[in-house]
Structure 1
Amino acid sequence: MTAATPTTAHPADAYENLEPWFDKLAALDPADPERPILREHIIETALPLADHIAQRYSGRGEQVDDLRQVARIGLVLAVDRFEVGRGTSFLSFAVPTIMGEVRRHFRDHVWAVRVPRPVKEAQTRLAAAVERLMQRLERQPTPREIAAELALDVDTTVLALMANNAFRTDSIDQIPLDDERGSTLSDRLGREEGCYRLIERSSVARPLIARLPAADRELLCWRYFESLSQSQIAERLGCSQMQVSRLLTRVLERLREQADLTPAGLPKAAS
């Protein structure tokens, strides 16, 4: 038998129907000189599949050409690992193999800042989960809803959402496109930031919030993290909006007292 070369491919050789070529490959002796020729033909016929998958991951901080190379490596692995006798189609085996290779590339090489591995792995699943939820809910899902969809805790999900910004970094010597004066980020460094005081307060409040009862933490999360109105919270709790207002006031006053802060958020004057 003479195997087809890559230049003899015809429409019937599209990657959707490569099983007959794998049958021919499996029938060849490992030492048959036609075997590498047939293998090359299969790989070249399936290259559009790898390129299509690479294109799906474009725009995430990596060059398309680099993604294409990674996807093609995944394709070669799929061709070499596919077993005809298992009863599955090559396409159903190759797609997750190629996508897995691309995702590992993002997880291990593309991040511009260090991100914990569980967060990286969660981030690779975010896009598909958000798309499913948007179709189902007809709105942008909340982090809590995304966490439930992925069977993750809310903290890991929030970190994964934030990790979308970790694919690339910008030089501090780069001039922003909207800066008419031509000043760079480094020109602005060293100025006193107005948010420093807010960060200090947040660092004080964080451990105090962690020690609150679970019901109080959930109440704060609904109001200030998920941005629910007091009326919406009241519907969840089965009480009145006024009761929710009192609960929030009680929790916030308790935090202020423990943090030794006034209602305005400023340190109390020394007595």
Structure 2
Amino acid sequence: MSVILSAQHVSKSFSVRQNEDVMALRDVNLDVYEHEFLCLLGASGCGKSTLLNMFAGFTPPSQGDILLRSSPITGIDPRCGMVFQSYALFPWQTVRKNVEFGPRMKGLPANECRSIAGRFIEMVGLRGFADHYPAELSGGMQQRVTLARSLAADPEVLLMDEPFAALDAMTRHVLQEELSRIQRESLKTVVLVTHNIDEALITSDRIVVMSPHPGQIRAVITNDLERPRNIDVQLSAAWGELKKEIWSLVAGDVSLHAS
């Protein structure tokens, strides 16, 4: 497998007060492979979102290198698309126009933009809603639009920062399974930040478990659970054993953060 994203001896510090820095990440080394679904998982304060923001080009490392296809990331790069917790849709535009945004910015013909938008609206399960406005949709449906818009822009890597955290448990579960399906269909490389072990198990090929203060990689776990990962898989002994293994790695950090 070829490496598409890489963090090489990456550390990141932030200034919080005069003459006082806080180290968010220390000496992180990580390769992300093309077409894989990788989850960054850990307690709050372990640097998951910081690492994701460096992959997106939003912030540079204090030390080390962030590489996209072996070249340093020096700023925001359209080859890396970001999906946030908030839906970030244009409220004055329809679902179709929102999804067409990326292709339009590339200067593609109107009929091609419409065709691309239609394909991804269909892929995320929103057939029949292309002419609706965001305010007419539920939160889960709005996040589907956000995902469709990100895919339509055709990034090489899709970066996702807890995109389902604001949704109710049942909607979140459905969208986790949908995201797993969409990633397999589109063959996009996905890096997902999550606090949720079940979410990581549903979606990922590999799970990077991070520890806090400062953020470091504690373990990288290959997820070989049977696909598609539905309720039957989640009730299996293999699911339970893998969840127990991951929980043993993060339980102390969660307790420390909560105290």
TM (normalized to structure 2)?
A: 0.24
Larger radius of gyration between Structure 1 and Structure 2: 1
Looking at secondary structure, tell me which structure has more helix per residue: 1
Compare relative contact order (CA 8 Å, sep 6+) and give the higher one, 1 or 2. Answer: 2
